[in-house]
Amino acid sequence: RKEVEQDPGPFNVPEGATVAFNCTYSNSASQSFFWYRQDCRKEPKLLMSVYSSGNEDGRFTAQLNRASQYISLLIRDSKLSDSATYLCVVKRDDKIIFGKGTRLHILP
C-alpha cells in the first residue's frame, strides 16, 4: 500500500462548478500536510499547507482529519486555469512524500 493515496481521476468539471479531492495517508506519525499543483510538463509548486483547523485561501479550502488520516481540497467557482494535477503531500520526520496526484480538467 502506498503511503499517500489519491484518486488519479481525471475529474472533468464544468467551469464555475465546485470540485473536491480526497487523499488518505497510512502513517499516523505524519506531521505536516500540503497540497501541491503540477501543470502539464511542469514542475510541482506549493498550493497551500493544510492545518488541523482547516484553512482557506481564496477559492481553495483544505481540511485535515487526523483521526481518519484524511486530507481534502475543495475548489469553488472553478476556472479554466485550475486545470492541473493536484498532489497530496505528507511530511513525516525528515521525509516529504508525494501522492501520485489527481488530474483535474475544467471544461468551458
Partner 1 sequence: DAGVIQSPRHEVTEMGQEVTLRCKPISGHDYLFWYRQTMMRGLELLIYFNNNVPIDDSGMPEDRFSAKMPNASFSTLKIQPSEPRDSAVYFCASSARFTTGELFFGEGSRLTVL
Give the interface with partner 1 as residue ranges (CB under 8 A). Answer: 32, 34, 42-46, 49, 87, 89, 91, 94-101
Least distance from partner 1 to the Cβ atom of residue 3, Å: 11
22 vs 76, beta carbon nearer partner 1: 22
Minimum CB distance to partner 1 smaller for 53 or for 94: 94
Query: What are the CB-based long-range contacts (under 8 Å, 24+) for 53-57?
Result: none
Which class for 67: exposed (0-12), middle (13-18), buried (19 or more C-beta within 10 A)? exposed
What is the separation, in whole angstroms, between the first and last Cα of the chain?
36
As measured in angstroms, the least distance from the Cβ of 108 to partner 1 is 26
